[in-house]
Amino acid sequence: MPNENLIDAQICCTHYNIEYSFIDSLQQYGLLQISTIKEERFIPSNELQKLEKLIRLHYDMDINLEGIEAISYLLDKVENMQSEMIQMRNRLRLYEEE
Amino acid sequence: MDFIDYYKVLGVDKNAKPEDIKKAYRKAARKLHPDLNPNDKEAHKKFQQVNEANEVLSDVEKRKKYDKYGKDWQHGEAYDKARQEQSRAYAGGGGQSFSGGNEEDDFSDFFSSMFGGGGKSSSRGQSKFRGQDYNAELHLALSDILKSHQQTLTVNGKNVRITIPAGVENGQKIKLKDYGSPGVNGGPNGDLYLTFVIKDNHHFKRLGNDLYMNKDIELYDAVLGGDVTIDTLTGKLKVKIKPETQNGSKIKLKGKGVPVYKKEEEFGDLIITWNIKIPVNLTEKEIELFTQLKDLRP
């Protein structure tokens, strides 16, 4: 029975006009989660947004996979730092003059 | 509406070849694309300008028209006529510009006036699969987060009924699936990311689930002990002041803070800092009595 939350990787490639090898590489670099069911490969729908972003980075901005890997790591750090900054700002408000 | 120098935006010469424009655009995009600058509104704004410049300069017809009318784009019958004729031709068409991300891809008034509205497509000429995400802020008072409640918001003309969870933190984001921009060609809608902005109120400051407040008390209550009425977020409360309370000392009222997020039955604490008021404009009698007290102290 097909799972509504999984999208056939081949269909994604056709839709986004990308090579299958690109999806392969993303998985090898640990940048995209892929499910394999009976030797068919599927992309979870909640990974689509990430896939679109990776496609933009690679095809539109000409960034190679090593670069994308580094960027992903740094973006995670940025996100964590931004969230930490919000917490620090909230903490700082305690000591600020009204 | 000001003239926009698209060559300046991309940092290229007026005689730049298409490949130079493409190169300049990609270079700028690698710095400013929303995918690489999360939550950076300034970068998003600059990227829009770069995108728009590329939309015009990478399209032979648009570039020709832009070069022809340039700074005089608002004048001349020929221009107006051309604008009317060509606006239809360009609407929905596309140069080569980046898609996706969280950016608002509105084009400037200058662009819309000259080219009759923007059309975008990705550099690979494919249709978009998923709508764009939207970001919005919801401003709440501290008293609004004491209990989970529902609130109706209007987002892009659509009414969205959301549950505001008790104890939500300032700056916390929630995702409202499918409330972003509509998808293209049957694709799913984007999501709406709602950021809660919670202001401290006049009496309290919040840190996590705890609330902090300063309370003025009389010198005599601080020395001898007494009662004081405190305004908490949920009502008034009578609190005992211990004898010999020091200025700046704190007491903790357990469970009088804000609810713990996703654990509505648990609450943080209210921490009160005592601020002892020293009497002023003393009478002669008071000075005499204070002097007697002073002399009593070894």
pLDDT in tens, A10-66: 988 998 889 999 999 999 999 999 998 888 899 998 888 889 999 999 988 889 999
Helices within B41-156 (DSSP H only)? 41-57, 60-69, 77-90, 109-115
Tens digits of pLDDT across chain B (298 residues): 677 889 999 999 989 999 999 889 988 888 888 888 887 888 888 888 888 899 889 888 888 888 887 766 555 445 555 555 544 444 333 333 444 444 444 567 677 666 665 544 444 444 445 677 778 888 898 888 888 888 888 777 778 888 888 999 888 888 888 887 776 666 677 788 888 998 877 788 888 899 999 999 999 999 999 999 998 888 899 999 999 999 999 999 999 999 998 887 899 999 999 999 999 999 999 999 999 999 998 7
d(C-alpha B58, C-alpha B40), whole Å: 26
Amino acid B288: pLDDT? 95
In which residue are the tokens 């989970």 written?
A: B148
Quick one: pLDDT at residue B73?
54
Taking a C-beta distance cutoff of 8 angstroms, is the pair B118, B112 a contact?
yes
Position A83 scores a pLDDT of: 83
Segment holding B138, helix H or strand E: strand B134-141
Chain A residue with CA closest to B96: the answer is A60
Pair B178, B189: CB distance under 8 Å: yes
Q: What's the rounded Cα separation, in Å, for the pair B253 and B239?
A: 9
In this complex, do A48 and B35 lie within 8 Å of one another by their Cβ atoms?
no
Chain B residues bordering chain A (beta-carbon distance below 8 Å): 26, 29-30, 33, 35-36, 38-39, 98-101, 122-126, 129-130, 169-171, 200, 202, 205-207, 212
Kindly provide the ipTM of the predicted complex, given to two decimals.
Answer: 0.76
**Contact A56/B206, CB-based, under 8 Å?**
no
Q: CA-to-CA distance for B153 and B179, rounded, in angstroms?
A: 11
Interchain contact, B207 vs A17, CB within 8 Å = no
As given in the structure block, the two tokens for residue B264 are 């509505």
User: Residue B199 pairs with which residues in a beta bridge?
Assistant: B141
Q: Decide which of A81 and B83 is more confident.
A: A81
pLDDT at B272: 96
B185 → chain A, closest CA residue: A15
Q: Which of B29, B36, B125 sits opposite A71 (nearest CB)?
A: B36
- As beta bridge partners, residue B231 has B236
> What count of other Cβ atoms lies within 10 Å of the Cβ of residue B163?
10
Q: How far off is chain A from B29, nearest CA to CA, in Å?
A: 7
Of A56, A62, A93, the CB nearest to B200: A93
**Nearest CA-CA partner of B229 in B242, B215, B219, B243:** B215
Contact B271, B254 (CB under 8 A): no
Residue B93 confidence (pLDDT): 36
With contact defined as beta carbons under 8 Å apart, do B239 and B228 qualify?
Answer: yes
Q: Compute CA B168 distance to the chain's CA centroid, rounded to the nearest angstrom.
A: 15
The reported pTM is: 0.53
Question: In chain A, which residues have their Cβ closer than 8 Å to the Cβ of B205?
Answer: 93-94
**Which chain A residues are closer than 8 Å to B38 by Cβ?**
75, 78-79, 82
pLDDT over 70 at A86, yes or no: yes
Local structure of residue B203 (DSSP, 8 states):
S
